[in-house]
């Protein structure tokens, strides 16, 4: 390209990688995202760096791992030294604009961006900075994240339509400077209340009921208990929740179609999500764990200079900022742990969880076919060969040599025990401040 390209980044909330047409799902309808995938690069092994909203988003916006930014939980408020995509791309002359959901807390609603067209829903924001309670007796007040379901209008839907409206209006006259437009959507985040016309696209009879193993890891059992995912659901509820999740994805796809119709073909477009959704697999709804539906995310990149293809290179959300710098013509920043997606290199992926439902910190290393989940010295790890065992039903943590090798690989990226201690100390200090 002869000029600095305009960039559109679209971020959804809670979209698991497998729930899309281009990903091979037999039922979920995503025609606009399918078209985007056909025009660009599809990253089939893309992962979140934390299966939790605020930690994931502060990680992707800064290009730093969770433990590098102390973004442990959904109560974190970024401090004045926090640098986002907008701070970086300002060096290349970009004007940076936000529409919709960003889910970063505190009074600063820009974090370096020049303009905000629409904001988050305020009831999702935490302005106190208080951490969650991480004790074995913590429980979510209800399991409404799955039982609040069915066709209907919802404020999330209204939020997403307003964000699209504002972004399309901006695109009619974006100004002379190259722009970075970030559009954030609530869908398909729970509650599973779907616009009726999209809910009507799906038949509950098509739902393949999720598999739940009888013997679960103690950390997973406690997580299920804390989020009330151990409360029984009827088969009808599971089927309805699932088709409503599919319907929310289709509504999201419709909004993205409106955006794509408004941007010129030479605009660089990136689509991804902050984390996935378990949708009943292993008896879990929401995320907060390291099974594939929670941590593997969709990631599409359309760039006029790149041919259409699929890649199975392991990448993660910390790679977005190096990619944006590369697109803008900026030199690589050695302080960033990620790598540009314009020339992806396969390497181990790190994900972390330090919030409610897990008393001790959780860490995931995904390396080749192997997934290693470390829960501290007091708990056994989990190990899966995801290629041979895609549903992650067969724990290989009894293979000592394999565990030792993967544990050593994890510790090349961080010291999990020291990181867990630092997270707990930071959360205790924030709690003491009231």
pLDDT of the residue at 2: 56
Question: Is 176 inside any structural domain?
Answer: yes
Q: Is residue 355 part of a domain?
A: no
Residue 354 lies in a domain: no
Rounded to 10°, the helix 31-39/235-262 angle is: 50
Closest CA to 180 of 120, 267, 242, 266: 267
* Structure confidence by residue, pLDDT tens digits, 10-45: 999 999 999 999 999 999 999 999 999 999 999 999
Query: What is the pLDDT confidence band of residue 215, given thresholds at 50, 70 and 90?
Result: confident
| pLDDT confidence tier of residue 431, bands split at 50, 70 and 90 | very high
Closest to 186 measured CA to CA, from 123, 138, 279: 123
pLDDT value, residue 1:
44
Is residue 270 a part of any domain in this protein? yes
Cβ(350)–Cβ(414) below 8 Å:
yes
CA-wise closest residue to 34 among 44, 15, 20: 20
126 assigned to some structural domain = yes
pLDDT tens, position by position, 353-367: 999 999 999 999 999
Name the strand (E) or helix (H) holding 384: strand 382-385
**Structural domain range at position 170:** 7-347
Please compute the mean of the pLDDT values over residues 200-210 and round it to a whole number. Answer: 97
CATH of the domain at 288: 3.40.720.10
* Residue 40 forms part of a structural domain: yes
Number of domains in the chain: 1
Return the axis-axis angle of helices 155-172 and 235-262, rounded to nearest 10°: 10
pLDDT score at 45:
98
The per-residue pLDDT for range 124-160, each reduced to its tens digit, is 998 899 999 999 999 999 999 999 999 999 999 999 9
Residues in the chain: 434
Question: Is this model's pTM higher than 0.95 or not?
Answer: yes
Return mean pLDDT, the chain. 97
Phi, psi of 190 (to 5 degrees): -60, 160
Which ranges of 210-234 does DSSP label H, i.e. alpha helix? 218-226
Question: Does any domain span residue 284?
Answer: yes
95, two tokens: 């004007």
* 100 located within any domain: yes
| 375-392: average pLDDT | 97
Is the pLDDT at 434 greater than 90? The verdict is: no
Evaluated on CA atoms 273, 6, 125, 362, the torsion sign reads positive
- Say if residue 213's pLDDT is above 90: no
């Amino acid at each position: 390209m002869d000029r600095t390209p305009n960039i559109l980044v679209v971020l959804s909330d809670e979209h698991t990688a497998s729930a899309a047409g281009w990903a091979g799902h037999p039922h979920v309808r995503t025609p606009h995202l399918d078209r985007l995938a056909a025009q660009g690069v599809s990253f089939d092994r893309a992962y979140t760096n934390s299966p939790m909203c605020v930690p994931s988003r502060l990680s992707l916006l800064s290009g730093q791992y969770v433990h590098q930014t102390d973004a442990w939980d959904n109560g974190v408020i970024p401090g004045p030294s926090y640098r986002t995509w907008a701070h970086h791309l300002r060096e290349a002359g970009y004007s940076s604009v936000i529409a919709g959901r960003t889910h970063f807390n505190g009074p600063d609603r820009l974090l370096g961006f020049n303009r905000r067209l629409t904001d988050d829903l305020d009831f999702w924001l935490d302005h106190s900075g208080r951490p969650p309670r991480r004790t074995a007796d913590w429980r979510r007040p209800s399991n409404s994240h799955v039982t609040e379901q069915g066709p209907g209008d919802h404020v999330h839907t209204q939020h997403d339509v307003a964000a699209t409206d504002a972004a399309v209006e901006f695109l009619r006259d974006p100004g002379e400077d190259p722009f970075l437009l970030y559009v954030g959507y609530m869908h398909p985040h729970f509650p599973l209340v779907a616009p009726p016309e999209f809910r009507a696209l799906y038949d509950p009879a098509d739902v393949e009921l999720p598999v739940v193993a009888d013997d679960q890891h103690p950390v997973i059992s406690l997580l299920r208990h804390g989020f009330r995912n151990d409360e029984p659901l009827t088969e009808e509820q599971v089927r309805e929740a699932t088709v409503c999740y599919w319907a929310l994805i289709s509504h999201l796809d419709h909004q993205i179609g409106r955006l794509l119709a408004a941007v010129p073909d030479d605009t660089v477009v990136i689509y991804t999500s902050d984390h996935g959704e378990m949708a009943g697999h292993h008896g879990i709804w929401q995320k907060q764990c390291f099974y594939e539906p929670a941590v593997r995310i969709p990631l599409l990149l359309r760039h006029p200079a790149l041919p259409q293809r699929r890649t199975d290179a392991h990448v993660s959300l910390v790679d977005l900022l190096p990619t944006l710098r590369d697109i803008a013509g900026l030199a690589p920043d050695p302080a960033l742990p990620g790598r540009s997606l314009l020339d992806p290199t396969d390497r181990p992926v790190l994900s972390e969880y330090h919030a409610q439902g897990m008393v001790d910190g959780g860490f995931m290393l995904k390396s080749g076919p192997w997934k290693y989940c470390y829960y501290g010295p007091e708990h056994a790890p989990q190990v899966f060969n995801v290629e041979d065992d895609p549903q992650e039903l067969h724990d290989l943590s009894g293979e000592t040599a394999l565990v030792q090798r993967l544990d050593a690989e994890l510790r090349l990226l961080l010291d999990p025990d020291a990181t867990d201690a630092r997270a707990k100390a930071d959360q205790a200090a924030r709690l003491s401040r009231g």
